[in-house]
Chains A and B, each alone.
Chain A
Amino acid sequence: MERNLTLIALFAALIAALGLIPKFTLASGVPISAQSLGIMLCGTVLGAKRGTLAVLLFLGLVALGLPLLAGGRGGLGVFNGVTVGYLIGFPVAAFVTGALAQAWRDRGGWIFPSVAALIGGVVVMNILGIAGMAVKLDKTLVEASLLATPFIPGDVLKCVLAGLITQGLQKARPGLLQA
């Protein structure tokens, strides 16, 4: 019981900390923040329920006014901004990623958690994010998806990393993923 609560809290802190460390840049020059990697890890490591709770806790603190989003953003304003669809997508992405990762858990390796992160953290996240932009900006879905395209290669890379990191965590702390 205590451990569930502390894991949820510490992974919420992990999402925030990953947004604070400097961005790394892709070969193509598009900067990517590690924050959405944190969302994926919540799903692949904590599973659907705890992962979603960790993300909701993180978003709750952002709403309360802590500058925890990548780039030091936060407060209620971000929930009125163009990217609100992505914020709504965060917990949904963690849930879908977590549910798939849990279902595929006994297969091991990094591929399965990576695919789970791809479906939850990229496909589901972008569907909600793009829909949010379309509503906020009064645009068609096609127009809105143009704004999201530059970030897709980075997102796909992050899925692979999420799988590798999940596998690494499992090797370093066996038993972490069974809980």
Chain B
Amino acid sequence: MISLTSEYRTPFHALPAGGKLLALCLFTFAVFYLDTVAAALAVTGAVAVAYGIGGMRFARQGLRMMRPVFWMALIILAYHLAIREWAEGAIVVLRLIAAVGLANLVTMTTRLDDMLAVIERMLARIGVSERARRRLALAVALVIRFTPVLAQKGARLIEAWRARSVKRPGWRLVLPIALLAVDDADRVAEALKARSGGL
């Protein structure tokens, strides 16, 4: 499955994942306390510059990921213009864009394996047993493997529906898709039991 990590290399890719996550936590916390337009503008500008360091194509990719946030921002701004509190609206919107922007930046520059490694280390440190960690890793792998499988089978069901009906496919397809998930779960459980000697 395609993850959201960007294929365009940036200097941020080389930074350790744990450090990036910690910095993001602190940043997110701090952003909440910005209360002047100038400060919010400066911080949002800094995030934009960070995207700029990644290069043009990387920045464009980042902008695409932000699109839902921009729509939300427009709605909020319109509302604030209507109640004539544009400064407060600008702060709220800029804070939102900065926080989401930096979080996306971390996601775009950190590989899935590195993220998983951080989680694994953290769980080990807080005393989660190795057996529990192995089960979690297996569950993660199963989701990554079976999401496209289920989506593909669902798409095939939609095709089958379209071939036979003039009506649009709808909620009726959710039951067979859920049934596929239940049956796959049974089969994988059997296979695990047969091969793994217990989890």
Contacts and interface: CB of A to CB of B under 8 A. Distances in A.
Interface of A: 1-3, 5-14, 16-18, 20-22, 24, 34, 37, 41, 45, 57-58, 60-61, 64-68, 71, 73-82, 136-138, 143, 147, 161, 164-165, 168-169, 172-173, 176
Contacts of B182: 7, 10, 45, 169, 173, 176
B106 interface: yes
Contacts of A164: 175
B52 to A, nearest CB: 18
> Chain A at the B interface: mostly helix, strand, loop or mixed?
helix
A172 B179 contact: yes
A158 B59 CA distance: 38
A59 B66 CA distance: 19
Interface residues of B, number: 71
Given A7-B182, A137-B92, 9 more contacts: A13-B146, A17-B151, A18-B174, A45-B182, A60-B140, A66-B144, A76-B104, A81-B96, A147-B75
Q: Which 10 A-B pairs have the closest CB atoms?
A: A75-B107, A9-B142, A17-B150, A76-B103, A77-B104, A10-B185, A80-B99, A3-B189, A13-B146, A77-B103
A73 to B, nearest CB: 6
Contacts, number: 192
Nearest to B184: A10
Contacts of A82: 69, 72, 96
Question: Which residue, A5, A67, A161, A164, has most C-beta atoms of chain B within 10 A?
Answer: A5
Question: Which residue, B66, B144, B192, has most C-beta atoms of chain A within 10 A?
Answer: B144
Contacts of A74: 4, 107
A77 B100 contact: yes
A11 B99 CA distance: 30
Contacts of B193: 2
Contacts of A173: 179, 182-183
Given A16-B147, A169-B178, A80 B154 contact: no
Contacts of B139: 5, 8-9, 12, 57
